[in-house]
Amino acid sequence: MKYTIHDQVTLSHAPEGPLAAHLISFADAISARGYSAQSMKQQIRIAACFSLWLKQTGVSVKDICYDHATRYLRFRARHVQPYRGDRAALRHLIDFMRSEGVIPVEKTATRRVPPAEICAQAYAEYLRDARALADATINYYVPFVCDLLHHCFGNGKVNLSRLRAVDIVSFVQYRAPSLHLKRAKLMTTALRSFLRYARYRGDVTLDLAAAVPVVANWSMASIPRAISAEQTRQLLASIDRRTAIGRRDYAILLLLARLGLRSGEVAFLELDDIDWRAGQVSVHGKSGQRSEMPLPADVGKAIAAYLLRGRPHSASRRVFLRAKAPITGFRGPCGVGSLVRHSLQRAGIDAPTMGAHQFRHGLATQMLSRGASLSEIGEVLGHRDPNTTRIYTSVDIKALRTLALPWPGGVR
């Protein structure tokens, strides 16, 4: 006799085993997360087979763990052609059962945390609580600090009072050659921050931050690589706005091109950030700073089109959602960067880069050519340091030519 689990999933017989009573709620959870009917069928069927195998092998609910899923997949492979999504399906099942309290959380062996990591973690908490730095900045700084402490103290006790300038210099000389220039500069910034923190705590009496070597770098050495206005028009015209994904991608690309937002600012944009009456959008920038920006009519129209005829049903408050299950917001800036890369490749556009940041450079370049001041550009782009905006002076070639003196020898 057939047994209906969900309106889209029917089994040949009633499920058995320790997880049988929970398959309906599992199916509902899968459906709510936006998985396709085919994916749902596959996940429920292997879940039912797994539950039966658990019964046959005498495994109780309280003992179920990921190891049982691995052993079952080996058993299944000897009798049925393996499916690519089998392992992920069982992982989803076990995670769901744990979230529901059906399966107890698996105990993991306690790892001895090295003293260097303990010290670095205390520094991370200081940056988060006392300095209110963004998590992304903390995640950049802490690994460099861990490397320094391991370099100086190994796995032994960390005694910051024993640090000397020669230790700092030798570490930078050892580590910097293997890093890209920007990473090397980030490392020295992180080390100075940590050493100032150590002195603030009283663990270090000397100003070791001053001993951190400066990484050689020419100021404004490179011209920002900006996508041209014509390339932006071509890219936007190539998006198929008849599809839900196309409407989403078009709205995202317009936000990048017209407002110069960072990829993370687009990825984490929420429904409550848009004030439709006032025609404004609230942008969450670096270090938690928040700024109100005018919402151009074409951008607002594109976002509205996606929300009305493209955005999947979801409890998420994010404006832009993933196109594939699980239907949630982008995990981070990389999702927007990937969208830009694929859109450029599909359109066959030979852009300066494949990333999202070129739209910020493109907007700044266009504003500069139209006569906008550097302060106006910095305000639009959310630059806190005026020096950050100065780099765009190197792209205004036409304006620079008007300042060039004539060649003494005349035209040849």
Please report, rounded to a whole number, the percentage of residues in the chain having pLDDT higher than 90.
41
Residues 6+ apart with CB under 8 A from 398: 369
The yes-or-no verdict on residue 194 having pLDDT over 90 is yes
User: Is pLDDT at 226 greater than 50 in this prediction?
Assistant: yes
CB distance 221 to 273 below 8 Å: no
Is the pLDDT higher at 224 or at 210? 210
What average pLDDT score do residues 252-273 get? 92
CA distance 368 to 370: 5
Q: Is the pLDDT of residue 334 over 60?
A: yes
Per-residue pLDDT of 4-25, as tens digits, reads: 877 778 787 888 999 988 888 9
Query: Does the annotation count 286 as an active-site position?
Result: yes
Q: Is the predicted pLDDT of residue 225 greater than 90, yes or no?
A: no
Single pTM value for the model: 0.63
What is the residue whose two structure tokens read 């709510």? 32
Q: From the candidates 45, 175, 322, 360, give the one annotated as an active-site residue.
A: 360
CB 274 within 8 A of CB 303: yes
Helix segments in 176-239, DSSP class H: 181-201, 229-238
- What is the DSSP-derived secondary structure letter of residue 240? -
Residue 222 pLDDT: 56
Residue with tokens 């890209």: 180
Region of 239 please: left (phi>0), alpha (psi -120 to 50) or beta.
Answer: beta
Mean pLDDT lowest among 106-120, 203-217, 225-239, 382-396? 382-396
Q: Would you tell me how many other CB atoms lie within 10 Å of the CB of residue 246?
A: 17
Give the active site residue among 35, 72, 123, 392: 392
Catalytic residue among 183, 286, 341, 390: 286
Q: How confident is the model at residue 379 (pLDDT cuts 50, 70, 90)?
A: low
Residue 392 burial (CB count, 10 A): 22
Active-site residue, 6 included: no
- Whether 192 sits among the annotated catalytic residues: the reply is no
Q: Where in the chain is the domain with CATH 1.10.150?
A: 115-211
Interval 133-175: pLDDT, tens: 888 889 999 999 999 999 999 989 999 999 999 999 999 999 9
CATH fit for domain 115-211, picks 3.40.50, 1.10.3430, 1.10.150, 1.25.40: 1.10.150
User: What's the confidence (pLDDT) of residue 403?
Assistant: 47
Give me the mean pLDDT over the 87-107 stretch. Answer: 86
State yes or no: is 262 an active-site residue: yes
Lowest mean pLDDT segment, chosen from 234-243, 325-334, 365-374: 365-374
* Mean per-residue pLDDT, 259-264: 89
Question: Which residue is catalytic, options 175, 262, 322, 361?
Answer: 262
**Average pLDDT value for the chain:** 85
Q: Please name the CATH architecture into which domain 229-398 falls.
A: Orthogonal Bundle (1.10)
